[in-house]
C-alpha cells in the first residue's frame, strides 16, 4: 500500500507541472525590434538562454546565420545586440536570475546554439525518445514551440 502511494506521488510529480512553475519561467521577450527581426524565421529565443559572448558572436555573423542570410542594417544589429547582451544568461542586472543554463560551459567556449548547451541536452535526454527528432512535424531541436506551446512566453516546464 505504502509503495502504491509513493508511486502515485512520483507519477504526479512527473505529470503535474511543478508548483514552482512560475519561478522556472524565462522572461518573455518584450522588445519589439528583437521580436520582429529575430522572430521572423523561428521563435524569438529568450536572451537568458545564452551568455553575452554568444549573442555577440551571433549578431556579428548574421549574414551567415545557420545557412541563412539574416543580415540587418548596422543600426538595427547594434540595437538588438545590446538588448540581447544586456539580458544574457551571465549579465548581472535588476532581477537577475541564474537559471543554470551555463553549467558545464567554460568561459573559453562560445556556443551559438542553445540546443548545444549541456543544460539543454540534459533536460532533453531520457524523457524523450531519440526518434522524436525524426518526426517531420517537429523538424529540428530548435523548434521549441513544437513541444513547448508557451515557449514564446518563456514557459518550458509543463508540456
Ligand atoms: C532568415 C531566417 C532567420 C532569421 C531572420 C533569424 N534566424 Fe536564427 N536561425 C535561423 C535558422 C535557419 C536557424 C537554424 C535552425 C535549426 O537548426 O533548426 C537559426 C538558429 C538560431 C539559433 C540557434 C538555435 C538552437 O539550435 O539552439 C539562435 C540562438 C538564433 N537563431 C538567433 C537568432 C537571432 C538573435 C536573430 C535575430 C537577429 C535570428 N536568429 C534571426 C534562421 C533565422
Ligand atoms: C521534441 C520536443 C521538444 C523540443 C523540440 C524542445 N523541448 Fe524542451 N523539453 C521537452 C521535454 C519533454 C522536456 C522535459 C519535460 C518538461 O520539463 O517539460 C523539456 C524540458 C525543457 C526545459 C526544462 C524545463 C524545466 O523543467 O525547468 C527547458 C528550459 C527547455 N525544455 C527548453 C527548450 C528550448 C529552449 C527549446 C528550443 C530551443 C526546446 N526546449 C525544444 C521537449 C522538447
If you measure from the C-alpha of residue 15 to the centroid of ligand 1, how many angstroms do you get, rounded to a whole number? 31
d(CA 32, CA 45): 13
Where do the structural domains in the chain lie, given as residue ranges? 20-153
Query: 11: which 3 cell numbers?
Result: 507519477
Output 67 or 137, whichever has higher pLDDT: 67
Pocket flag, ligand 1, residue 33 (CB < 6 Å): no
Q: Alpha-carbon distance 104 to 65, whole Å?
A: 25
Q: What is the pLDDT of residue 1?
A: 45
Q: Is 108 exposed, middle or buried (0-12, 13-18, 19+ CB in 10 A)?
A: exposed
Instruction: Give the three cell numbers for residue 21.
Output: 512553475
pLDDT computed for residue 10 by the predictor: 45
pLDDT tens digits along 26-79:
999 999 999 999 999 999 999 999 999 999 999 999 999 999 999 999 999 999
CA–CA dist 89, 102 (Å, integer): 7
- Give per-residue pLDDT as tens, 104-119: 999 999 999 999 999 9
Ligand 1 atom at minimum distance from 113 CA:
27
Q: Which atom of ligand 1 is nearest to the CA of 80?
A: 38
pLDDT tens for each residue of 88-98: 999 999 889 99
pLDDT at 17 > cutoff 50: no
The number of the ligand 2 atom at minimal distance from the alpha carbon of 135 is 1
For residue 155, the model assigns a pLDDT of 94
Mean pLDDT of 12-16: 42
Amino acid at each position: 500500500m505504502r509503495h502504491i502511494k509513493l508511486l502515485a506521488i512520483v507519477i504526479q510529480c512527473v505529470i503535474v507541472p511543478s508548483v514552482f512553475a512560475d519561478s522556472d519561467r524565462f522572461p518573455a521577450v518584450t522588445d519589439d525590434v528583437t521580436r520582429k527581426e529575430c522572430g521572423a524565421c523561428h521563435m524569438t529565443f529568450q536572451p537568458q538562454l545564452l551568455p553575452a559572448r554568444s549573442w555577440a558572436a551571433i549578431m556579428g555573423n548574421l549574414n551567415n546565420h545557420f545557412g541563412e542570410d539574416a543580415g540587418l542594417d548596422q543600426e538595427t544589429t547594434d540595437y538588438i545586440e545590446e538588448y540581447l547582451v544586456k539580458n544574457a544568461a551571465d549579465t548581472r542586472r535588476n532581477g537577475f536570475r541564474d537559471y543554470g543554463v551555463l553549467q558545464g560551459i567554460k568561459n573559453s567556449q562560445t556556443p551559438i546554439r542553445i540546443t548545444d548547451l549541456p543544460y539543454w541536452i540534459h533536460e532533453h535526454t531520457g524523457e524523450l525518445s531519440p526518434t522524436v527528432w525524426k518526426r517531420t512535424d517537429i523538424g529540428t531541436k530548435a523548434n521549441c514551440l513544437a513541444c513547448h506551446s508557451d515557449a514564446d512566453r518563456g514557459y518550458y516546464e509543463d508540456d
